[in-house]
Amino acid sequence: MSDVPLTAAVKAFLARPHGQFIQGNACISHAAPLIDIINPANEEVVAAVATASRDELNAAVAAAKGSFQSLWANFNPYARGVILNKLADLIEQNGEEIAQLDTLCSGKSINLSRLFEVQQSAVFLRYFAGWTTKISGQTLQPSFPSMAGEQYSAFTRREPVGVVAAIVPWNFPLMIGIWKLGAALACGCSVVIKPSEFTPLTMLRLAELAKEAGLPDGVLNVINGGGDTGRQLIEHPDVAKVSFTGSVATGKKVNMTAAADLTRCTLELGGKNTAALLQDADIDRAVAGLLQTGYIHQGQVCAAPERVYVHASRLDELTGKLGAALAAAPVGSPLDERVVFGPLSNKPQFDKVCHYLQVAGSESRILSGGEVIDRPGYFVQPTIVRAASATEVLMQEETFGPVLSFMSYDEDDELLALINNTPYGLGTSLWTNNLSAAMRMIPQVESGTVWVNMHTMVDPAVPFGGVKHSGIGREFGSSFIDEYTEVKSVIMAY
């Protein structure tokens, strides 16, 4: 097995100093504290990024506000779409550089980096580009009394909200960033984005490509730092909207910070997503689906299934076949195209998953995997856990790792209560060919998305978001327009 060689562009990018991207320029403050970017596959430092100072944060918001007011809010809609499409082209043209930078920071397999961070980023951007010319209001007829023959008409305008603070996690740092900035820019908002401190490089490269695509200076700005930098950004009085993706715990803090100044806020948060196999489920199909969605990127996917309810008559068949498939999948360097399982993305995440493996091990519930892999980097085995109760830790808490917990049920009418027995509600999948059973269950499942015979897949045309503690608001579809525009009503007498 061997790694793909790093391209010359990647080596050159890594060798550069990294800081912020403000008003169309890279800003490097040499006095600023540096954050080391660690390759999770070998724990080596691949680059360092300077933390944004308070002055740089203020400059980024000022650049976004200035470009919004003077230019971008009233920019020709078709021309906005042309720029977003051009940016999608540039992402693809520079795809191998972006994919390798992502794999070096996040440990995602190079195949997945190419598929999601490059191809899907371009797909989502082109979707948002198509909307720039289709954002519209309504024409309405008021019912006011007419005293002297006057008539009335009303219409609504969709106006961009202003400066958007986008805060994104480390699991899909570019694609999730594009979900936010593509939507914001399509609506005429300007953006200050804060990547995770573990994965800032691809967003800095994207900002350069956006400039090359013709995006006016100041419309997209990137600032780096940890959670405190994110908090300071949200608190800035010129931020009109916060779009956050991350954990439930941080999301609650973000919501409180935003609410203190009545800043509008959408939250895409974590969960404890369920796959529920009805008695008739096609087990081979479910095994392939769970492999593809539960263990992809080592389970570090917000919508990934983490708890699986299976009819008692099918549990052993499912876990046996899944265990065999996991054992056959190669583990190793994520830069090796043949590898399926790479490392967890960073040390805190590794520690968190190790904790959950200990919990599972102490209760003798591990059916497959369960060990840390003895090699440099943050590697653990993909794991299958057998749960005895729906209330135990591994059936309730998000591990965000390659740890799926399986529990059996006996009667179909138990299943809905089991699915809904969680404070979260991001995604649920039902595995059955009984269309009638699925259609009757769907309205009762407390979840932002319900998949049938599939899981996790998101599409730009289909709204995505959580209920209960998994979030507030929706991305994609046409729903994003509500999130990034304000409705202005105009009423006229004539």
Order of strands, edge to edge, in the sheet holding 383-386? Answer: 366-368, 383-386, 403-409, 305-311, 273-277, 427-431, 449-452
Stretch that binds ligand NDP, among 17-25, 68-76, 246-254, 354-362 (CB under 6 A): 246-254
Question: What is the per-residue binding string for ligand NDP in 145-184, x denoting contact by CB under 6 A?
Answer: ----------------------xxxxx----x--------
Stretch that binds ligand NDP, among 142-150, 151-159, 225-233, 410-418 (CB under 6 A): 225-233
Question: What is the per-residue binding string for ligand NDP in 297-316, x denoting contact by CB under 6 A?
Answer: -----x--------------
Question: Which tokens go with 220?
Answer: 């997209």
194, 236, 264, 297: which one contacts ligand NDP (CB under 6 A)?
194
Nearer to ligand NDP, 314 or 455 (CB): 455
51, 103, 196, 263: which one contacts ligand NDP (CB under 6 A)?
196
Q: Are 160 and 484 in contact (CB under 8 A)?
A: yes
Nearer to ligand NDP, 6 or 222 (CB): 222
Active site residue 302: yes
């579809």: which residue's tokens? Answer: 477
Q: CA-CA-CA-CA torsion for 260, 56, 345, 118, nearest 10 degrees? A: 100
268, 306, 336, 483: which one contacts ligand NDP (CB under 6 A)?
268
Minimum CB separation of residue 335 from ligand NDP in Å reads 22
Q: Which of 27, 189, 265, 302 is catalytic?
A: 302
Cα separation, 213 vs 219, in Å, equals: 12
* Long-range contacts of 126-130, Cβ-Cβ distance < 8 Å, separation of 24 or more: 126/84, 126/85, 126/88, 127/182, 127/460, 127/461, 127/476, 128/84, 128/182, 128/183, 128/185, 128/186, 128/460, 128/480, 129/80, 129/81, 129/82, 129/84, 129/85, 129/88, 129/182, 129/186, 130/81
* Long-range contacts of 13-16, Cβ-Cβ distance < 8 Å, separation of 24 or more: 13/97, 13/101, 13/201, 13/205, 14/46, 14/47, 14/101, 14/104, 14/201
Report the Cα 306 to chain-centroid distance in Å: 17
Using CB under 6 A as the binding rule, whether residue 353 contacts ligand NDP is answered as: no
246, 334, 401, 473: which one contacts ligand NDP (CB under 6 A)?
246
């008003």: which residue's tokens? Answer: 23
Using CB under 6 A as the binding rule, whether residue 227 contacts ligand NDP is answered as: yes
Active site residue 268: yes
Q: Which of 56, 117, 197, 268 is catalytic?
A: 268
Nearer to ligand NDP, 72 or 170 (CB): 170
Using CB under 6 A as the binding rule, whether residue 350 contacts ligand NDP is answered as: no
Minimum CB separation of residue 45 from ligand NDP in Å reads 17
Q: Which residues are identified as catalytic?
A: 268, 302
- Site for ligand NDP, rule CB under 6 A: 167-171, 176, 194, 196-198, 226-227, 230-231, 234, 245-247, 250, 253-254, 268-270, 302, 398, 400, 426, 466, 471
